[in-house]
């Protein structure tokens, strides 16, 4: 079973539905643009890799909403942990997509 973006980010049922849809649409477009412009001609991007990249980008976009000055707080076993959000929401997806992209900076 595939994990949805809402499940991945722990969104509240109903409360975040519209924002989740926006984040997922933006993430899908960002990943599609990157792949279209950079994929190697001899490979096809597996659907699970594309879905993972979209989920990672969508999560970054979702958490930016509560990231004052680029720092988000996440609850853990030791209490709230501050985590800096990447300036580029594609940052986490680049590593996942890299094996399928042309050589160079990506």
For the residues 33-61, what does the mean pLDDT come to? Answer: 94
**How sure is the predictor about 86, in pLDDT bands with cuts at 50, 70 and 90?**
low
Rounded percentage of the chain residues whose pLDDT exceeds 90: 53
Q: Six-digit token pair at 79?
A: 């209490």
Query: In terms of C-beta density within 10 A (0-12 exposed, 13-18 middle, 19 or more buried), how is residue 11 classed?
Result: middle
Rounded CA separation 20/18 (Å): 5
Q: Which of 65-69, 70-74, 83-87 has the lowest mean pLDDT?
A: 70-74
Query: In terms of C-beta density within 10 A (0-12 exposed, 13-18 middle, 19 or more buried), how is residue 53 classed?
Result: buried
The mean of the pLDDT values for the chain is 84
Q: List beta partners, residue 83.
A: 72
What's the first-to-final CA gap in the chain, in angstroms?
A: 30
Strand extents, DSSP E, the chain: 71-76, 79-84
């Amino acid at each position: 079973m595939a994990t949805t973006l809402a499940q991945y980010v722990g969104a509240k049922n109903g409360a975040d539905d519209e924002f989740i849809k926006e984040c997922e649409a933006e993430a899908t477009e960002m990943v599609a643009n990157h792949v279209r412009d950079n994929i190697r001609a001899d490979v096809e991007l597996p659907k699970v890799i594309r879905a993972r990249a979209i989920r990672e980008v969508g999560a970054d976009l979702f958490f930016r909403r509560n990231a004052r000055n680029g720092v988000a707080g996440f609850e853990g076993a030791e209490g709230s942990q501050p985590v800096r959000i990447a300036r580029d929401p594609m940052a986490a997806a680049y590593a996942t997509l890299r094996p399928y992209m042309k050589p160079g900076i990506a």
